[in-house]
Amino acid sequence: MVPALFLVDHVRRETRDTTTVELVSVANGQGMRFAAGQFNMVYVFGVGEVPMSITGDPGRPERLIHTTRSVGAVSVAIGKLKPGDVVGIRGPFGTAWPLQEAGGKDIVVVAGGIGLAPLRPALYHIRANREKYRNVFLLYGGRTAGDLLYVKELERWWSESVFRIEMTVDRAPASWHGTVGVVTSLIPRISVDPKQSVALVCGPEIMMRFTARELERYGMEQTQISVSLERNMKCAVGFCGHCQFGAKFICRDGPVFRADKIVPLLGMREL
Ligand SMILES: Cc1cc2nc3c(=O)[nH]c(=O)nc-3n(C[C@H](O)[C@H](O)[C@H](O)COP(=O)(O)OP(=O)(O)OC[C@H]3O[C@@H](n4cnc5c(N)ncnc54)[C@H](O)[C@@H]3O)c2cc1C
Ligand code: FES
């Protein structure tokens, strides 16, 4: 439960409200080993502690990387961090994307908005182990073109043809030549064997529900789809109950769940 001290080494503004920080441990100058999909509790001293997905490359743990959208007290404080500042880190916590089970299969990665951050470590892993997977698609949707994350990196991956990338925005000026519409509208563009595929999905809950439904229409079972959930957290280790969702604790049983275990609960108001 005691946070370890991490030094802010580098800060990059991604969009008008989203920032990426690279951290190194004060104790040993290193980052942190983690599995793609896991999260940390990030503590800004004097402000508070919030869960944040780890968004770096799991194969390169020399830097601990978090991308944060500023929505409230703590995330705004993370967005204002400068090189040389020190934060507290607890973790890594939680479950990981099922990248071993995906071996030998097609993969469909579907991200909405900041939901690309928890999926980026999975994309790094797939890229580094490309021969282990068949067709790989990344479908990514943002509110506007200015809200899309990691654009330069996505352009590089697109030019390398490591995997097929399709992007869409909800609203666009006339100068935008790409797709306009919700991210589920990109699903008909994939060509995978639905019975030999795995889908990794992260974004707003409504987006994950509709994406799971469209992937099922495509021929996939919910057992082949994984989603990552967010809830308010305090302890992050299954003690306090803040993140309880039905019979599950998101911090301990998630945040990555197989869709058949959790998606049916997403529409229930009383949860
Ligand atoms: C496992 C896990 C991983 C996460 N990973 C990331 C990540 O990688 N990057 C990231 O930016 N966030 C991530 N989050 C969400 C992040 O923890 C919250 O945005 C943060 O806790 C908000 O705290 P705050 O003090 O900044 O805002 P608060 O003061 O708690 O909230 C301020 C206002 O913002 C609203 N709000 C809170 N969270 C959100 C949200 N996510 N979207 C829109 N409005 C919101 C609240 O309803 C409230 O009105 C993750 C959450 C979980 C559970
Ligand atoms: S945050 Fe305490 S039980 Fe999950």
Supply the pLDDT for residue 271: 53
Sign, CA dihedral 108-112-117-118, equals: negative
The residue nearest atom 49 of ligand 1, judged by CA position, is 72
pTM of the model as a whole: 0.94
Closest CA to 202 of 125, 253, 145, 138: 138
- CA–CA distance, 170 with 49 (Å, rounded to integer): 32
Supply the pLDDT for residue 124: 97
Residue 90, pLDDT > 70, answer yes
Using an 8 Å Cβ cutoff, are 118 and 39 in contact?
Answer: yes
Supply the pLDDT for residue 173: 84
Residue 269: band (very low, low, confident or very high) from pLDDT cuts 50, 70, 90 = low
244 pairs with which residues across the strands? 249
Average pLDDT on 31-53 reads 97
Supply the pLDDT for residue 45: 97
Residue 175: band (very low, low, confident or very high) from pLDDT cuts 50, 70, 90 = confident
- E runs forming strands in the chain: 4-15, 18-25, 39-44, 48-53, 64-69, 86-93, 106-112, 136-142, 164-169, 179-180, 197-202, 225-228, 244-245, 248-249, 256-258
Pocket (CB within 6 angstroms of ligand 1): 39, 48, 50-53, 67-69, 71-75, 114, 117-118, 230-231, 233, 255
pLDDT > 70: what percent of the chain? 99
Residue 241, pLDDT > 70, answer yes
Residue 212, pLDDT > 70, answer yes
Set out the domains of the chain in order of their start, with CATH numbers.
Answer: 4-93 (2.40.30.10), 106-266 (3.40.50.80)
Supply the pLDDT for residue 267: 72
pLDDT > 90: what percent of the chain? 91
- Chain mean pLDDT for the chain: 95
Distance 231 CA to ligand 2 centre (A): 9
